[in-house]
Copies of this chain bind each other. A is one copy, B any other.
Amino acid sequence: MEKYTIKDIAKECGVGVSTVSRAINNHPDINPHTKKLILEKIEEKNYRPNSSARTLKKMENNTIAVLIKGISNPLFHYMIDIIQSEVLSKDYAFILKKVGFDEDETIVADEIIREQKIKGIVFLGGIFTHTEERLKTLTVPFVLSTISPSKAIDGRVYSAISIDDVRESARMTEYLIKLNHKKIAILLAKKEDVSVGYLRYQGFEETMKKHGLKVDEDLIIYSEGDGDLFSMENGYNLTKQLLSRGKEFTAIFAISDRMAIGSIKALIEAGKKVPEDVSVAGFDGLDISYYYNPSITTIRQPVEEMAKETIKQLFMLIKGSDTNKHMIFEGSIVEGNSTRKIRG
């Protein structure tokens, strides 16, 4: 017997899969005529629409968990959408688990491995500073996604999908320097940070030095405290701190788009215009950077490709591969209206 899928029904009826799903689930948002057509086709083809019943046997114990650190980061939502659809298309179940900013993700992973039957784990976001020993205790395959691999750990013990934070930060710094900015302030994570915050600072510093520009200590603003340091609120507070120092600057490089939004808010409150008085650049390429007023110049991370590769790598490990890979994706500058060229 041929295996007839929801996609076949959709194709033969000339509608999208979601419309077929609406017909099956008795959803009110569907044209009654279309619904009738779909239900007749389902009858005719003897299609069993309830995928939960059909695939339940197979799915049992076939679950992928995504552990997400920073659920309020919109960068991850699109990735979760793609990861979920890739996982479901392999007839695996999918669960999400949130990891707090002060939680150890390997402990959360241990818990979920024991509580639920998990075949693989994706770690999404966060600062990953665990020891090799901790990573080796994880008893299921896992991939670090959007997390720059730490050089302190033997690369053979984990797989990772990320951009090169140093290189992308250098790219943005080059861009600002090309617009003749020399006095560039930077909003960072904690001083003690050894992950994303540190790497993005490194790319900034190297590029400034390469162009013979001085990095003014007073224009480096580090975060303090716990929680989500890449937030709008933190960008706002760091910029107020920067302004209070009274030093001259023509541009601010915020290491996340959300920080850039908070930064612009603080500048506007201080009576400054963006980009006329100060240029502001972000990092990530979130939708809001396009919709913000002014739109924000940023580094776009190729989230779709990264999400797909994450699942590809994870399933290679699940299928028995013992080779851990580190894949580095390329970002790109998205020019917004928050930056402008000044006189050189």
Contacts and interface: CB of A to CB of B under 8 A. Distances in A.
A119 to B, nearest CB: 12
Interface string A259-273: 001101100100000
A129 B28 CA distance: 8
Interface in A182-215: 190, 192-194
Contact of A95 (B60, B71, B72, B97): B97
A115 interface: yes
A89 interface: no
Contact of A93 (B107, B111, B262, B294): B111
A287 interface: yes
A332 interface: no
A98 B84 contact: yes
Contacts of A293: 264-265, 268, 292-294
A233 B290 CA distance: 10
Contacts of A18: 100-102, 226
A74 B288 CA distance: 12
Contacts of A81: 71, 98
A72 B74 CA distance: 7
A226 B50 CA distance: 21
Contacts of A131: 26
A293 B268 CA distance: 8
A29 interface: yes
A38 B251 CA distance: 42
B63 A72 contact: no
A154 to B, nearest CB: 17
Contacts of A100: 18
A104 interface: yes
Given A59-B115, A114-B56, A292-B292, A192 B287 contact: no
Interface residues of A, number: 64
A245 interface: no
Nearest to A62: B115
How many subunits of this chain does the assembly comprise?
Answer: 2
A96 B93 contact: no
Nearest to A293: B293
B292 A111 contact: no
Given A28-B129, A74-B72, A129-B28, A52 B111 contact: yes
Nearest to A20: B102
A290 B233 CA distance: 10
A50 B104 CA distance: 11
Contacts of A233: 287
Given A96-B98, A293-B268, A27 B129 contact: yes
A139 interface: no
Contacts of A25: 103-104, 107
A16 B60 CA distance: 40
A69 to B, nearest CB: 13
Most B Cβ at <10 Å: residue of A131, A293, A294: A293
A185 to B, nearest CB: 19
A324 interface: no
Contacts of A103: 21, 25
A102 B21 contact: yes
Nearest to A31: B192
Most B Cβ at <10 Å: residue of A18, A78, A236, A291: A291
